[in-house]
Structure 1
Amino acid sequence: MDQQRTDRLPPLPLETLTEAQRTAAQALIDGPRKGVKGPFIPMLRSPELLDRVQRVGEYLRYDTVLENRIGEFVTLIVAREWSEPFEWSTHYPLALAAGVAQSTLDDLAEGARPQTMAQDEALAWDFTTELTRNKGVSDGTWQRALQQFGEQGVVELVGLIGYFTSVIMLLSAAHTPAVNPLPLPVLPR
Protein backbone atom coordinates (compact mmCIF):
# COMPACT_ATOMS: atom_id res chain seq x y z
CA MET A 1 0.00 0.00 0.00
CA ASP A 2 1.36 3.40 -0.96
CA GLN A 3 2.02 5.23 2.31
CA GLN A 4 2.33 8.58 0.46
CA ARG A 5 -1.30 8.81 -0.66
CA THR A 6 -3.35 11.87 0.18
CA ASP A 7 -5.72 11.47 3.13
CA ARG A 8 -9.16 11.78 1.50
CA LEU A 9 -11.07 12.42 4.74
CA PRO A 10 -8.60 14.09 7.12
CA PRO A 11 -9.42 15.23 10.65
CA LEU A 12 -12.13 17.85 10.79
CA PRO A 13 -11.33 21.20 12.44
CA LEU A 14 -13.04 21.32 15.83
CA GLU A 15 -14.81 24.59 15.02
CA THR A 16 -16.57 22.95 12.04
CA LEU A 17 -18.07 20.02 13.95
CA THR A 18 -21.83 19.76 14.21
CA GLU A 19 -23.41 19.03 17.57
CA ALA A 20 -23.90 15.37 16.54
CA GLN A 21 -20.24 15.11 15.52
CA ARG A 22 -19.12 16.67 18.81
CA THR A 23 -21.25 14.20 20.76
CA ALA A 24 -19.89 11.22 18.83
CA ALA A 25 -16.32 12.46 19.21
CA GLN A 26 -16.77 13.04 22.95
CA ALA A 27 -18.06 9.48 23.40
CA LEU A 28 -14.81 8.20 21.88
CA ILE A 29 -12.71 10.54 24.01
CA ASP A 30 -14.54 9.50 27.18
CA GLY A 31 -14.38 5.78 26.34
CA PRO A 32 -11.49 3.32 26.36
CA ARG A 33 -10.09 4.67 23.06
CA LYS A 34 -9.45 8.11 24.64
CA GLY A 35 -9.59 9.92 21.30
CA VAL A 36 -10.81 10.16 17.72
CA LYS A 37 -8.31 8.04 15.79
CA GLY A 38 -7.98 5.83 12.75
CA PRO A 39 -11.28 4.84 11.15
CA PHE A 40 -13.20 7.21 13.39
CA ILE A 41 -11.61 10.22 11.72
CA PRO A 42 -13.33 9.62 8.37
CA MET A 43 -16.36 8.04 10.06
CA LEU A 44 -16.99 11.29 11.93
CA ARG A 45 -18.68 12.48 8.71
CA SER A 46 -21.53 10.14 9.72
CA PRO A 47 -21.79 10.59 13.50
CA GLU A 48 -24.70 8.18 13.96
CA LEU A 49 -22.83 5.45 12.10
CA LEU A 50 -19.69 6.25 14.09
CA ASP A 51 -21.58 5.94 17.36
CA ARG A 52 -23.13 2.60 16.48
CA VAL A 53 -19.98 1.11 14.95
CA GLN A 54 -17.71 2.26 17.77
CA ARG A 55 -20.00 0.64 20.34
CA VAL A 56 -19.79 -2.67 18.47
CA GLY A 57 -16.02 -2.31 18.27
CA GLU A 58 -15.76 -1.38 21.93
CA TYR A 59 -17.64 -4.55 22.87
CA LEU A 60 -15.55 -6.74 20.57
CA ARG A 61 -12.26 -5.26 21.79
CA TYR A 62 -12.90 -4.87 25.51
CA ASP A 63 -15.83 -7.07 26.56
CA THR A 64 -15.83 -10.13 24.28
CA VAL A 65 -15.65 -13.66 25.65
CA LEU A 66 -12.60 -14.20 23.44
CA GLU A 67 -9.22 -13.97 25.11
CA ASN A 68 -7.51 -10.64 24.35
CA ARG A 69 -4.53 -12.45 22.77
CA ILE A 70 -6.87 -14.12 20.25
CA GLY A 71 -8.72 -10.87 19.52
CA GLU A 72 -5.50 -8.99 18.84
CA PHE A 73 -4.12 -11.80 16.69
CA VAL A 74 -7.32 -11.99 14.63
CA THR A 75 -7.24 -8.21 14.19
CA LEU A 76 -3.72 -8.50 12.77
CA ILE A 77 -4.71 -11.37 10.47
CA VAL A 78 -7.43 -9.16 8.98
CA ALA A 79 -5.06 -6.17 8.75
CA ARG A 80 -2.51 -8.41 7.02
CA GLU A 81 -5.13 -9.66 4.54
CA TRP A 82 -5.72 -6.03 3.53
CA SER A 83 -2.09 -4.83 3.91
CA GLU A 84 -3.60 -2.06 6.04
CA PRO A 85 -1.02 -0.03 7.99
CA PHE A 86 -3.16 1.81 10.56
CA GLU A 87 -4.70 -1.25 12.24
CA TRP A 88 -1.45 -3.21 11.81
CA SER A 89 0.60 -0.50 13.52
CA THR A 90 -2.01 0.01 16.25
CA HIS A 91 -2.61 -3.65 17.13
CA TYR A 92 0.90 -5.06 16.62
CA PRO A 93 2.22 -3.86 20.01
CA LEU A 94 -1.09 -4.81 21.63
CA ALA A 95 -0.77 -8.37 20.28
CA LEU A 96 2.78 -8.63 21.61
CA ALA A 97 1.68 -7.34 25.01
CA ALA A 98 -1.22 -9.82 25.02
CA GLY A 99 1.20 -12.71 24.51
CA VAL A 100 1.36 -13.38 20.77
CA ALA A 101 4.92 -14.49 19.97
CA GLN A 102 7.19 -12.16 18.02
CA SER A 103 8.00 -14.98 15.58
CA THR A 104 4.29 -15.48 14.94
CA LEU A 105 3.87 -11.82 14.05
CA ASP A 106 7.04 -11.82 11.94
CA ASP A 107 5.65 -14.66 9.80
CA LEU A 108 2.27 -12.96 9.60
CA ALA A 109 3.88 -9.70 8.46
CA GLU A 110 5.49 -11.59 5.57
CA GLY A 111 2.13 -13.06 4.59
CA ALA A 112 3.05 -16.59 5.66
CA ARG A 113 1.15 -18.96 7.90
CA PRO A 114 2.96 -18.53 11.22
CA GLN A 115 5.05 -21.53 12.22
CA THR A 116 4.93 -20.85 15.96
CA MET A 117 1.35 -20.52 17.13
CA ALA A 118 -0.43 -21.75 20.21
CA GLN A 119 -3.20 -24.25 19.40
CA ASP A 120 -5.97 -21.66 19.82
CA GLU A 121 -4.03 -19.17 17.67
CA ALA A 122 -3.66 -21.77 14.90
CA LEU A 123 -7.40 -22.34 15.04
CA ALA A 124 -8.06 -18.58 14.95
CA TRP A 125 -5.72 -18.34 11.94
CA ASP A 126 -7.53 -21.20 10.14
CA PHE A 127 -10.97 -19.79 10.88
CA THR A 128 -10.11 -16.20 9.95
CA THR A 129 -8.24 -17.01 6.76
CA GLU A 130 -10.89 -19.48 5.60
CA LEU A 131 -13.63 -16.93 6.18
CA THR A 132 -11.79 -14.02 4.57
CA ARG A 133 -10.29 -15.91 1.64
CA ASN A 134 -12.93 -18.56 0.94
CA LYS A 135 -16.00 -16.57 2.05
CA GLY A 136 -16.93 -19.46 4.32
CA VAL A 137 -15.61 -21.90 6.91
CA SER A 138 -15.27 -25.66 6.48
CA ASP A 139 -17.26 -28.00 8.73
CA GLY A 140 -14.06 -29.23 10.38
CA THR A 141 -12.83 -25.74 11.23
CA TRP A 142 -16.31 -24.77 12.42
CA GLN A 143 -16.51 -27.74 14.77
CA ARG A 144 -13.02 -27.13 16.15
CA ALA A 145 -13.90 -23.47 16.72
CA LEU A 146 -17.09 -24.43 18.56
CA GLN A 147 -15.11 -26.77 20.80
CA GLN A 148 -12.44 -24.14 21.48
CA PHE A 149 -14.46 -20.94 21.75
CA GLY A 150 -18.09 -22.05 22.28
CA GLU A 151 -21.07 -20.74 20.33
CA GLN A 152 -20.87 -17.23 21.75
CA GLY A 153 -17.14 -17.13 21.08
CA VAL A 154 -17.57 -18.22 17.46
CA VAL A 155 -20.28 -15.61 16.89
CA GLU A 156 -18.04 -12.95 18.43
CA LEU A 157 -15.07 -14.19 16.39
CA VAL A 158 -17.06 -13.67 13.19
CA GLY A 159 -18.20 -10.29 14.53
CA LEU A 160 -14.59 -9.30 15.21
CA ILE A 161 -13.49 -10.33 11.72
CA GLY A 162 -16.41 -8.41 10.20
CA TYR A 163 -15.88 -5.34 12.36
CA PHE A 164 -12.21 -5.01 11.48
CA THR A 165 -12.87 -5.78 7.83
CA SER A 166 -15.37 -2.92 7.79
CA VAL A 167 -13.15 -0.34 9.49
CA ILE A 168 -10.14 -1.43 7.41
CA MET A 169 -12.19 -0.98 4.25
CA LEU A 170 -12.97 2.59 5.34
CA LEU A 171 -9.33 3.26 6.21
CA SER A 172 -8.26 1.91 2.82
CA ALA A 173 -10.87 3.81 0.83
CA ALA A 174 -10.23 7.08 2.69
CA HIS A 175 -6.43 6.64 2.59
CA THR A 176 -6.28 7.29 6.33
CA PRO A 177 -2.60 7.19 7.28
CA ALA A 178 -1.06 5.31 10.17
CA VAL A 179 0.38 7.67 12.78
CA ASN A 180 3.57 5.66 13.38
CA PRO A 181 3.52 2.99 10.67
CA LEU A 182 5.33 -0.29 11.25
CA PRO A 183 6.80 -2.15 8.27
CA LEU A 184 4.14 -4.11 6.43
CA PRO A 185 4.92 -5.30 2.92
CA VAL A 186 2.05 -5.14 0.46
CA LEU A 187 1.02 -8.66 -0.51
CA PRO A 188 0.26 -9.52 -4.12
CA ARG A 189 -3.44 -9.94 -4.85
Structure 2
Amino acid sequence: MENNIALKEKKFNRMITVVSVVIPIVVALLFGIKIPNVEPLSILPPIYATINGLTAVLLVVAVWAIKNQRQVLHQNLMTINIGLSLIFLVMYILYHMTSDSTPYGGEGFVSYVYYFILITHIVLSIALIPLVLRTYAKAYLGRFEDHRVLARYTFPIWLYVAVTGVVVYLMISPYYAS
Protein backbone atom coordinates (compact mmCIF):
# COMPACT_ATOMS: atom_id res chain seq x y z
CA MET A 1 0.00 0.00 0.00
CA GLU A 2 2.73 2.46 1.03
CA ASN A 3 4.73 1.56 -2.08
CA ASN A 4 1.65 2.24 -4.25
CA ILE A 5 1.23 5.69 -2.69
CA ALA A 6 4.93 6.42 -3.23
CA LEU A 7 4.58 5.48 -6.91
CA LYS A 8 1.51 7.70 -7.27
CA GLU A 9 3.35 10.55 -5.57
CA LYS A 10 6.33 10.12 -7.88
CA LYS A 11 3.98 10.29 -10.88
CA PHE A 12 2.26 13.39 -9.44
CA ASN A 13 5.62 15.06 -8.81
CA ARG A 14 6.68 14.52 -12.42
CA MET A 15 3.41 16.05 -13.68
CA ILE A 16 3.70 18.92 -11.20
CA THR A 17 7.25 19.64 -12.36
CA VAL A 18 6.15 19.72 -16.01
CA VAL A 19 3.14 21.94 -15.25
CA SER A 20 5.27 24.24 -13.07
CA VAL A 21 7.71 24.79 -15.92
CA VAL A 22 5.21 24.90 -18.79
CA ILE A 23 2.75 27.42 -17.29
CA PRO A 24 5.25 30.30 -16.84
CA ILE A 25 6.77 29.64 -20.27
CA VAL A 26 3.37 29.56 -22.00
CA VAL A 27 2.25 32.71 -20.17
CA ALA A 28 5.47 34.50 -21.19
CA LEU A 29 5.02 33.41 -24.81
CA LEU A 30 1.36 34.43 -24.88
CA PHE A 31 2.31 37.89 -23.63
CA GLY A 32 4.02 38.39 -26.98
CA ILE A 33 0.88 37.53 -28.93
CA LYS A 34 -1.80 40.13 -29.56
CA ILE A 35 -5.16 39.00 -30.92
CA PRO A 36 -5.84 41.27 -33.93
CA ASN A 37 -9.11 43.15 -34.43
CA VAL A 38 -10.39 42.44 -30.94
CA GLU A 39 -11.57 45.06 -28.51
CA PRO A 40 -9.34 45.21 -25.41
CA LEU A 41 -10.88 43.25 -22.58
CA SER A 42 -10.56 46.17 -20.16
CA ILE A 43 -13.31 44.76 -17.98
CA LEU A 44 -11.04 41.90 -16.84
CA PRO A 45 -8.53 43.58 -14.46
CA PRO A 46 -11.14 44.50 -11.82
CA ILE A 47 -12.63 41.02 -12.16
CA TYR A 48 -9.36 39.20 -11.68
CA ALA A 49 -8.40 41.56 -8.85
CA THR A 50 -11.69 40.58 -7.21
CA ILE A 51 -10.80 36.92 -7.76
CA ASN A 52 -7.49 37.56 -5.97
CA GLY A 53 -9.34 39.19 -3.08
CA LEU A 54 -11.84 36.34 -2.88
CA THR A 55 -8.98 33.84 -2.96
CA ALA A 56 -7.33 35.62 -0.02
CA VAL A 57 -10.54 35.51 2.01
CA LEU A 58 -11.19 31.86 1.16
CA LEU A 59 -7.62 30.91 2.08
CA VAL A 60 -8.10 32.40 5.55
CA VAL A 61 -11.49 30.68 5.92
CA ALA A 62 -9.91 27.38 4.80
CA VAL A 63 -7.25 27.67 7.51
CA TRP A 64 -9.98 28.44 10.05
CA ALA A 65 -11.92 25.38 8.80
CA ILE A 66 -9.03 22.95 9.22
CA LYS A 67 -8.13 24.34 12.64
CA ASN A 68 -11.73 23.63 13.64
CA GLN A 69 -11.68 20.06 12.28
CA ARG A 70 -13.89 20.96 9.28
CA GLN A 71 -11.89 18.86 6.82
CA VAL A 72 -14.55 18.67 4.08
CA LEU A 73 -15.08 22.44 4.16
CA HIS A 74 -11.31 22.94 4.07
CA GLN A 75 -10.93 20.58 1.12
CA ASN A 76 -13.79 22.25 -0.77
CA LEU A 77 -12.41 25.73 -0.16
CA MET A 78 -8.94 24.73 -1.32
CA THR A 79 -10.37 23.15 -4.46
CA ILE A 80 -12.34 26.36 -5.10
CA ASN A 81 -9.13 28.38 -4.61
CA ILE A 82 -7.31 26.29 -7.20
CA GLY A 83 -10.25 26.79 -9.57
CA LEU A 84 -10.22 30.53 -8.93
CA SER A 85 -6.50 30.59 -9.64
CA LEU A 86 -7.08 28.90 -13.00
CA ILE A 87 -9.88 31.35 -13.86
CA PHE A 88 -7.58 34.23 -12.87
CA LEU A 89 -4.81 32.87 -15.09
CA VAL A 90 -7.08 32.56 -18.13
CA MET A 91 -8.46 36.09 -17.64
CA TYR A 92 -4.99 37.51 -17.08
CA ILE A 93 -3.71 35.95 -20.30
CA LEU A 94 -6.78 37.07 -22.28
CA TYR A 95 -6.41 40.63 -21.03
CA HIS A 96 -2.75 40.81 -21.99
CA MET A 97 -3.42 39.24 -25.39
CA THR A 98 -5.97 41.97 -26.18
CA SER A 99 -4.45 44.98 -24.43
CA ASP A 100 -1.13 46.75 -24.21
CA SER A 101 0.56 46.63 -20.82
CA THR A 102 -0.24 49.60 -18.64
CA PRO A 103 2.83 51.46 -17.41
CA TYR A 104 2.79 52.53 -13.78
CA GLY A 105 2.49 56.30 -13.60
CA GLY A 106 3.37 56.90 -9.97
CA GLU A 107 6.57 58.69 -9.02
CA GLY A 108 9.10 58.78 -6.23
CA PHE A 109 9.06 56.41 -3.29
CA VAL A 110 5.62 55.04 -4.18
CA SER A 111 6.95 53.74 -7.52
CA TYR A 112 9.66 51.79 -5.67
CA VAL A 113 6.97 50.30 -3.42
CA TYR A 114 4.84 49.41 -6.46
CA TYR A 115 7.69 47.71 -8.31
CA PHE A 116 8.80 45.84 -5.20
CA ILE A 117 5.28 44.53 -4.67
CA LEU A 118 4.87 43.72 -8.39
CA ILE A 119 8.19 41.88 -8.70
CA THR A 120 7.71 39.85 -5.50
CA HIS A 121 4.14 39.10 -6.58
CA ILE A 122 5.29 37.77 -9.96
CA VAL A 123 8.24 35.77 -8.63
CA LEU A 124 6.22 34.22 -5.81
CA SER A 125 3.27 33.46 -8.11
CA ILE A 126 5.62 31.37 -10.25
CA ALA A 127 7.07 29.62 -7.19
CA LEU A 128 3.55 29.05 -5.92
CA ILE A 129 2.55 26.73 -8.76
CA PRO A 130 4.55 23.69 -7.58
CA LEU A 131 3.92 24.53 -3.92
CA VAL A 132 0.13 24.53 -4.31
CA LEU A 133 0.11 21.44 -6.50
CA ARG A 134 2.45 19.46 -4.21
CA THR A 135 0.53 20.52 -1.11
CA TYR A 136 -2.74 19.48 -2.73
CA ALA A 137 -1.24 16.18 -3.94
CA LYS A 138 -0.04 15.33 -0.41
CA ALA A 139 -3.60 15.69 0.91
CA TYR A 140 -5.06 13.82 -2.07
CA LEU A 141 -2.71 10.91 -1.38
CA GLY A 142 -3.60 10.90 2.32
CA ARG A 143 -0.17 12.10 3.45
CA PHE A 144 -1.68 14.60 5.83
CA GLU A 145 1.37 15.20 8.03
CA ASP A 146 3.47 15.97 4.94
CA HIS A 147 0.57 18.12 3.68
CA ARG A 148 0.53 20.10 6.94
CA VAL A 149 4.29 20.69 6.84
CA LEU A 150 4.21 21.92 3.25
CA ALA A 151 1.04 23.97 3.81
CA ARG A 152 2.87 26.00 6.46
CA TYR A 153 4.98 27.43 3.61
CA THR A 154 2.36 27.39 0.87
CA PHE A 155 -0.35 29.28 2.78
CA PRO A 156 1.55 32.50 3.57
CA ILE A 157 3.02 32.67 0.07
CA TRP A 158 -0.38 32.09 -1.57
CA LEU A 159 -1.99 34.64 0.74
CA TYR A 160 0.76 37.17 -0.11
CA VAL A 161 0.29 36.59 -3.85
CA ALA A 162 -3.50 36.94 -3.56
CA VAL A 163 -3.35 40.12 -1.46
CA THR A 164 -0.60 41.74 -3.52
CA GLY A 165 -2.59 40.98 -6.67
CA VAL A 166 -5.29 43.28 -5.31
CA VAL A 167 -2.72 45.88 -4.20
CA VAL A 168 -1.04 45.91 -7.63
CA TYR A 169 -4.43 46.38 -9.30
CA LEU A 170 -5.39 49.23 -6.94
CA MET A 171 -2.04 50.95 -7.47
CA ILE A 172 -2.10 50.70 -11.28
CA SER A 173 -5.83 51.14 -11.91
CA PRO A 174 -5.65 54.95 -12.18
CA TYR A 175 -3.30 54.51 -15.14
CA TYR A 176 -5.42 52.15 -17.23
CA ALA A 177 -6.42 53.66 -20.57
CA SER A 178 -10.04 54.71 -20.60
Shorter-chain-normalised TM-score: which range? under 0.3
| TM-score relative to the length of structure 1 | 0.24
User: Higher helix proportion, which one?
Assistant: 2
Q: TM-score, normalised by structure 2?
A: 0.25
